[in-house]
Amino acid sequence: AQSVAQPEDQVNVAEGNPLTVKCTYSVSGNPYLFWYVQYPNRGLQFLLKYITGDNLVKGSYGFEAEFNKSQTSFHLKKPSALVSDSALYFCAVPPISGNTPLVFGKGTRLSVIA
Amino acid sequence: DVKVTQSSRYLVKRTGEKVFLECVQDMDHENMFWYRQDPGLGLRLIYFSYDVKMKEKGDIPEGYSVSREKKERFSLILESASTNQTSMYLCASRNSGGARETQYFGPGTRLLVL
């Protein structure tokens, strides 16, 4: 079955430093991979997705993610973190082809410290 | 912009009550989904629907039912609420283009069952 794993429950980073939120995947065939962000007491907001093509995907709010097939990873990155980036981040993958819903990782809480 | 709305942001109900959670999307999406979110467990799929009057069980359907009488509306029903159904409920919708399509989420309903 297709799945994603987020190995870190919590990531702390100082404001202005680069941030990375990790995601590894296990899929057969070509993967579709998604990142979402959830601010406190809100729903999930779509950040970016990898379908095919360039391994570096750019998304909302200055975030980008790098698809690495050899390492089966899709890490979320931002060159300079803001305090307002503090939130819960989810990586997701569709379990099989067709109209099946996304399966989400457990989430990583990002805290950006001023 | 895709808009997914949920009828309540916060809800308090008593054990044994019948609870209706409503979700409406304005983008003519065929697919709609209900997830619940709990700390440490991430998002878990309850039910989803490919089209009007169609429904499929997700990973944790027990204690829930759904209704999709109109394309834009997907209702989650707790037939007899129990305390273990206290949770954050998230609705999402998506076009029917398959696994590459983005799921868009509503703001969530935080349900407390006393």
Q: What pLDDT does residue A97 have?
A: 61
pLDDT exceeds 70 at position A111: yes
pLDDT exceeds 90 at position A1: no
Burial of residue B64 (CB within 10 Å: 0-12, 13-18, 19+) is: buried
Instruction: Indicate yes or no: CB of B99 within 8 angstroms of CB of A106.
Output: no
pLDDT in tens, A43-62: 999 999 998 888 999 999 99
More confident residue, A34 or A31: A34
How far the first Cα of chain B sits from its last, in Å, is 37
pLDDT bucket at B101, cuts 50 / 70 / 90: confident
Q: Which residues of A touch B98 (CB under 8 A)?
A: 97-99
CB within 8 A of A71, min separation 6: which ones?
A24
Q: What pLDDT does residue A74 have?
A: 97
- A77 min Cα distance to partner chain B (Å): 20
Distance CA B63, CA B61 (A): 6
pLDDT exceeds 90 at position B99: no
pLDDT bucket at B72, cuts 50 / 70 / 90: very high
Q: How many CB pairs under 8 A join A and B?
A: 62
Q: Which residues of A touch B6 (CB under 8 A)?
A: 43
pLDDT bucket at A98, cuts 50 / 70 / 90: low
What is the pLDDT averaged over residues B29-52?
Answer: 93
Is residue B65 within 8 A of residue B79, CB to CB? The reply is yes
What is the SS3 assignment for chain B? CCCEEECCCEEEECCCCCEEEEEEECCCCCEEEEEEEECCCEEEEEEEECCCCCCEECCCCCCEEEEEEECCEEEEEECCCCHHHCEEEEEEEECCCCCCCCCEECCCEEEEEC
How far the first Cα of chain A sits from its last, in Å, is 41
What is the pLDDT averaged over residues B50-63?
Answer: 94
pLDDT bucket at A30, cuts 50 / 70 / 90: confident
